[in-house]
Amino acid sequence: MRYLPQTQNARKAMLDAIGVASVDDLFVDVPAKARMKGAVDLPPHMGELAVERALSAYANQNRAAGAGPFFLGAGCYYHHVPASVDYIIQRSEFLTAYTPYQPEIAQGTLTAIFEFQTFIAQLTGQDIANASMYDGATSCTEAALMAMRLTGRGRVIVGNDLHPHYWDVLKSGVRGCEQKTFKTITDDESDVACIIVQCPDFLGQPVQYADWRALCDRLGAKLVVVINEIVSLGLLPAPSMADIVCGEAQSIGLAMGFGGPHLGFFACRTEYVRQMPGRLVGETVDADGKRAFVLTLNTREQHIRREKATSNICTNQGLCALAFTVHMGLLGEGGFKQLARINHERAGMLADALAKVPGVKVVNETFFNEFVVELSKPSAGVVDQLAAKGIIAGLALDGNRLLVAATEMTEASDIDAFCNALAEVLK
């Protein structure tokens, strides 16, 4: 954002133009008791150079993923983004494009969104996908709400370890959420709208869908599969037997960005399309019979009667979806599968190395690129000590457990540095 300070002369000229003596005159209609008295408790204004220095000092307190060994995942993953992705999405026709309401002047944007939908449908094994959601957490909540509309039921069961941020959003948007294990869900629970299963789960454990599908069929409930690490779909089976598949696509085309912006995705079966949230781009032909794209469905309250809307999410992550689409186009099917294999191989290297460190036990029997280890000391303190050594060790869980991840960005030298430093800390 450009820094555009106003001089006193410029402010006086603007006030003169509208016929008031001071900025305070603009607030005369606000009751005095509602106005703040005195100065705001903030630093005084500064010149551009001083602002740059102050903000740089704040930024330098962060440690970027590329600054050293990095093993933190937990829903936001450190992957390589080709330079060509940023080049394309920063072209003005994409960067400044508005919602493509007028298809006659927005075929480029609509085509890109259609390709994004196609990629997501192919990856998830579903019939259709929408134009994207805010992030994985809101996608998960929308999936639960959609299942409730489809079934007319009010209970939502989370069947395994769901990302805690997803849990927070889900509980804020849906009443009647609860967590149960597969063995504690009984066949007489006829009021269940859906069962939500994350794969791999928050602790890195992959899921086999067949038993969950059979359970949902017995209950008459919908099976919702959440994918937090979309690269896993290059190696693990597509959740084609699910009713709804949703999650986070940040790993392809998007930097971690200290938490965002990220890219939610949402896919389902064709028969549920009119209950799907967000917007959908479809293919048609123009007046000359040529292939063209339009906004096919907009089942949101901005476009239709509020009581008929399926969601109050009023946008899609257009630029982020474009970044994903460009990166996927560069990878192709073979490249995407190779990327997934490399991720799993690096995680395997990490697990093998950590298992040799005294005081470390690898908990997971299976994983994709993320897993839990048990340490001989509380994990929170270990993480802090390693951070002081320039190593981001992962996410400290309760007690002595530590969640670690490895991607194609993880080098053998990173693993060696991590294991050596961890051995020192655990002595």
Q: What separation, in Å, do the N-terminal and C-terminal C-alpha atoms of the chain show?
A: 48
CATH no., domain 85-327 = 3.40.640.10
pTM of the predicted protein model: 0.89
**Could you tell me how far CA 395 lies from the centroid of its own chain?**
17
Long-range contacts, stretch 334-339, CB < 8 angstroms, 24+ apart: 336/231, 336/234, 337/234, 337/235, 338/234, 339/231, 339/234, 339/408
Which residue, 131, 197, 193, is CA-closest to 163? 197
Residue 270: per-residue pLDDT: 96
Structure letter (DSSP) for residue 248: E
- Tell me the pLDDT band of 1, cut-offs 50, 70 and 90: very low
Cα dihedral across residues 402, 407, 410, 415: positive or negative = positive
Can you tell me the distance from the alpha carbon of 322 to that of 326, in angstroms, rounded to the nearest whole number? 6
Looking at the chain, the domain(s) classified CATH 3.90.1150.10 span 333-426
**124 vs 64, higher pLDDT:** 124
Summarised one tens digit per residue, pLDDT across range 201-215 is: 999 999 999 999 999
What is 333-426's CATH topology? Aspartate Aminotransferase, domain 1 (3.90.1150)
Which ranges constitute the DSSP H helices of 96-159?
A: 107-124, 136-151
Looking at the chain, the domain(s) classified CATH 3.40.640.10 span 85-327
Ranking 16-30, 221-235, 389-403 by mean pLDDT, the lowest is 16-30
Whether residue 254 contacts residue 264, with contact meaning beta carbons closer than 8 Å, is answered with no
Whether residue 296 contacts residue 282, with contact meaning beta carbons closer than 8 Å, is answered with yes
Summarised one tens digit per residue, pLDDT across range 351-409 is: 999 999 999 999 999 999 999 999 999 999 999 999 999 999 999 999 999 999 999 99
Summarised one tens digit per residue, pLDDT across range 25-59 is: 999 999 988 988 888 888 887 888 998 999 999 99
